[in-house]
Amino acid sequence: MALTQHQILQIENVLRNSLRNKFQNYNPEPASMPFHTRLLGKDRMALFSFIHSLNTNFGTSIFEPVALALAACNFVSAASQQSAGNYISSESQRVIQNIIDNLSSANSSPNKVKEIEAIREVCQKGEMKKVKLTKVDIKLIDHNDTIYLIDLKTAKPNAGGFKEFKRTLLEWVATTLAENPTANVQTIIAIPYNPYEPQPYNRWTMRGMLDLEYELKVAEEFWDFIGGEGTYGNLLEIFENVGIELRPEIDAYFERFNN
């Protein structure tokens, strides 16, 4: 499904505004790297530092607003940086810990459907505890009232963190069901692009903790889920076109570091 002209314009504006705001507010780190600077030049070192700084907030400043622009045509609602809920039952916490323990010891394999139903059975049992969980990066509700809670990760997340990623996904389920026990809720880890292309994304490090069918979307899987088939390719074209358009501004910005 092709993107609408309105979506294309929205995404282009997100990219232009994000880069221009970065140019206006960015100050290169003062750390002295005399050998690198003399070898590569001030402008290239400034570019290196700029890219590193941009990467740290690429998710919130670019990927999240782009996802919202795409989702507007395909979902009933779309929002970023949302709370999954404020209360979790003590029995849900017990079930979640059991799931984590069994996965960690390889006594069971990830099965998101069964995990959700196990939490649903106890979502309002025991003491209701007030919690402050990690914010949901992107929350979507489709036309069937299915709630999608998405945790947007960097392209190469630390493999050692997948246990906590899993806990976050299960806690989002528990707090959502604590408010509405009949809700159809899905929680997902999304990785915006595959750094290993053209090779497949290296999923084996996640296999013991995540249900790869239901809890992980990478590159095309993620963007085509949000915006429809072909969205990923369209996005790459938009990014390239905006980059070509802004190249004179980008070159002029870094040229000043040669003075």
3-state secondary structure the chain: CCCCHHHHHHHHHHHHHHHHHHHHHCCCCCCCCHHHHHHHCHHHHHHHHHHHHHHHCHHHHHHHHHHHHHHCCCCCEEEEEECCCCEEEHHHHHHHHHHHHHHHCCCCCCCHHHHHHHHHHHCCCCCEEECCCCCEEEEEECCCCCEEEEEECCCCCCHHHHHHHHHHHHHHHHHHHHHCCCCCEEEEEEECCCCCCCCCCCCHHHCCCCCHHHHEEECHHHHHHHHCCCHHHHHHHHHHHHHHHHHHHHHHHHHHHHC
pLDDT, one tens digit for every residue, the chain (259 residues): 578 899 999 999 999 998 888 888 877 665 677 887 878 877 778 777 788 777 777 888 899 999 999 998 899 999 999 999 999 999 999 999 999 999 988 899 999 999 999 999 999 999 999 999 999 999 999 999 999 999 998 777 776 688 899 999 999 999 999 999 999 999 999 999 988 888 888 766 677 889 999 999 999 999 999 999 999 999 999 999 999 999 998 888 877 776 6
pTM: 0.90
